[in-house]
Amino acid sequence: MVVKHSSKKSAAPKKPATTAKAKTKKASAPRPLKKNKKGAASRKQVQELIASKKSSRPADEVVTYPEVEYELKEIEPQGNKVLIGPPWLTRFERARITGSRSLQLSLGAPPLIKVPEQAKSSIMLAVEEIDAKALPISIRRILPNGVYQDIPIDWMK
């Protein structure tokens, strides 16, 4: 901290200005739950907390949407053709499969391909298995109207 000396003397140090908002408590802040001997909140406190989170709007102002009901209907495959979505794995599908398969491998599942030299981790091995199309899985792609297609991974490009 650097102290600067000046020739002028001040009467008193200035205090930071406070506003009325800074002094008042927020009414919407949740109060902490009291814990019982086991460290859990009581059932009554949890129910009160849930009840306090409900909307404060009148019921006639709340917008609700009707539930759309549909039945799932499978598209019959036409050869090895992908009819829904791109003919390759999306990055989300690839990430989900890689994560699931690497977890299986790390928990001791046998690899489905010969382990390459460069595979240092279960994630790298899972990626190699996906690239080799060695996994016996299918991807289900569903459209909003309920139509779906189960696509074996070996159909993907």
Does residue 122 carry a pLDDT above 90? yes
pLDDT tens figures, 28-80: 555 665 665 655 667 777 777 777 766 677 777 777 777 777 789 999 988 99
Does residue 84 carry a pLDDT above 90? yes
Question: Are 152 and 119 in contact, with CB atoms under 8 Å apart?
Answer: no
Q: What pLDDT is recorded for position 137?
A: 95
- Which position has the higher pLDDT, 47 or 87? 87
Question: Are 98 and 153 in contact, with CB atoms under 8 Å apart?
Answer: no
d(CA 91, CA 94): 5
Question: Are 93 and 84 in contact, with CB atoms under 8 Å apart?
Answer: no
Q: What pLDDT is recorded for position 155?
A: 92
Q: What pLDDT is recorded for position 103?
A: 98
Least confident of 52-56, 85-89, 136-140: 52-56
| 36: Cβ contacts below 8 Å, ≥ 6 apart | 42
Candidates 3.90.940.10, 3.40.50.300, 3.40.50.620, 3.30.70.3450; CATH matching 73-155: 3.90.940.10
Does residue 2 carry a pLDDT above 60? no
Mean pLDDT across the stretch 85-112?
Answer: 97
Mean pLDDT of the chain: 81
Q: What pLDDT is recorded for position 37?
A: 60
Helix axes 91-106, 122-131, angle to 10 degrees: 130
